[in-house]
Amino acid sequence: MPSGKLDDYVVVGMIGSGSFGQCKKIRRICDGKVLVWKEINYKEMTESEKQQLVTEVNLLRELKHTHIVQYYDRIIDRSQSMLYIITEYCPGGDLATLISQHRHQRKLLPECFIWQVMHQILLALEECHRSKENVGGKVMHRDIKPANVFLDGEGQVKLGDFGLARILHNTSLAKTFVGTPYYMSPEQYSCNSYDHRSDLWSIGCLLYELCALKPPFVASSQYKLAEYVCNGRFSRIPSKYSDDLHWTISQLLHVKPEKRPLLSQLLSLLEEKIPLAKPPNVAGTEKTTPPSVLGAVKEEESLQRKLDELHRKEEILRKKEEDLQRKEIELKRREEVLVLREKQQAILK
C-alpha cells in the first residue's frame, strides 16, 4: 500500500465534520489533483473501534469499482494519534444535499434519474457482495443512506463511507445493532440476525426518499420508528412516478428479507429499463460510459425551462388576444353608437 506524507498535500477547504473527525478537500502537490481526506483521531478509541477503523481502510483498499468512492492512500501521524484516509473527491456532492435542495424548491426529481441511481448503486453493491478473498468474505455496507452516496464530476453515483461496513464470512449473519435509524431494516430493529439483504432495504429507503423527498418511515421517537418499520406500511411515492417504480421500491421494502428480490433479478430488470447503463470495461467488449444521473436531471430541467418559456409566450399571446377581443368589442360598441346617432339625426331631419 502506498503511504505518502502530510507534506505531499495542501488543505483547500473544509467539507464537513462528524463524530469521527473532519473531512477536508485537499490538493496533491505533485500533480495538483484534488482529493479528500478524512481526519480521524484514534487516541480515545477502544480496541474494537480501532479494529473497525483498520477494517474500513482494508475494505476501501480492496473495493475497486466505477461506482465506489476510490481509495488512494492512508497516512498515520502517530505523534498526534491521527489517521488520514485519502479518497477521490466527488464535486457533485451527496444525495442528501440534492434531496434537501429539491425539498426546499418543492420540486420532484425526474423518474429517469431515480432508475439510474438505483442501477448504479446496485452495481456498487454487487461488487461489495462478491466474496473477497483478500478480506475473507462478502462486504456488507450497513449504512447506506443519501449522505453516503456521492456524485462525481460527471454525475456518476459513488457509494462511500464504509465506516460501519462488515465482512460476512461465508454464510455468517451479523447481529450488531448499527446503522442510521431511518434506513435500518426490520430485522435490525428486531435484533434478529441479518445479512446483505439489509443493504437492499436501505437502498429501498434511499430510493423512496429520492422520490418523496422524505424517508418512507418517520416518527417522533425511535420506539415508534421501529414500530412503523417493522409493520412495513408506507405511503405510495408521488403520483408523478410510475407503478413500475413504486412496485420495485416496494419489493426492496418487504418486511421479510427472504421476500426481497435478488441483486441479479434487480439488475436484469434495470438493464431492460436502462439499456445504456451497463457496467463499463467488460473484458473483450467495447468500453461504454454509463449515463450521467445528473445529466438526466439537467435534461429534465432544460426541458422544464423550455416548457416554462413556452407557457410564458402562450400567456403573452393569450393576453394579446384578450386585448384584441376587448378592442374589437369596444370598436363594435362605438360603431353601434354611431349607427344609432345617424338614425337619430335622420329622424330629426
- Is the domain of 81 the same as that of 190? no
pTM above 0.85, yes or no: no
- Is the domain of 129 the same as that of 29? no
What confidence score (pLDDT) does residue 283 get? Answer: 36
Q: Residue 86 is inside which H or E element, if any?
A: strand 82-88
**Does a structural domain hold residue 296?**
no
Range with lowest mean pLDDT among 8-22, 234-248, 299-313: 299-313
132-158 in b/e form (b: 16+ CB < 10 A) is beebeebbbbbbbbbbbbbbbeebbbb
Q: Which CATH number fits the domain that encloses residue 273? A: 1.10.510.10
**Is residue 102 within 8 Å of 109, Cβ to Cβ?**
yes
What confidence score (pLDDT) does residue 26 get? Answer: 97
- Is the domain of 283 the same as that of 159? yes
Interatomic CA distance for residues 102 and 238, integer angstroms: 14
* pLDDT tens figures, 83-137: 999 999 999 999 999 999 999 999 999 999 999 999 999 999 998 887 565 555 6
Q: Is 161 annotated as a binding residue?
A: yes
- Is the domain of 82 the same as that of 171? no
Interatomic CA distance for residues 169 and 55, integer angstroms: 14
- For residue 276, is pLDDT > 70? no
What confidence score (pLDDT) does residue 301 get? Answer: 63
State the residue range of the domain holding 21: 6-47+54-88
- Of 73, 94, 143, 199, which is the active-site residue? 143
Catalytic: 143?
Answer: yes
What confidence score (pLDDT) does residue 258 get? Answer: 94
- Is the domain of 138 the same as that of 262? yes
* pLDDT tens figures, 37-76: 999 888 888 888 888 788 778 878 888 999 999 999 999 9
- For residue 173, is pLDDT > 50? no
Q: Considering its fold, how many domains does the chain have in total?
A: 2
Kindly list the distances between the CA atom of residue 121 and the CA atoms of 28, 55, 68, 165, in Å, as whole numbers in the listed order.
Answer: 28, 22, 9, 16
Q: Which residue has the cell 483521531?
A: 41
- Is the domain of 103 the same as that of 215? yes
- Is the domain of 220 the same as that of 269? yes
**CA-angle at 268, arms to 116 and 198, nearest 5°:** 75
**Is residue 252 within 8 Å of 245, Cβ to Cβ?**
no
27 contact partners, CB below 8 Å, separation of at least 6: 9, 10, 12, 33, 34, 35
What confidence score (pLDDT) does residue 131 get? Answer: 58
- For residue 275, is pLDDT > 90? no
Interatomic CA distance for residues 165 and 162, integer angstroms: 5
- Is the domain of 111 the same as that of 73? no
- Is the domain of 80 the same as that of 99? no
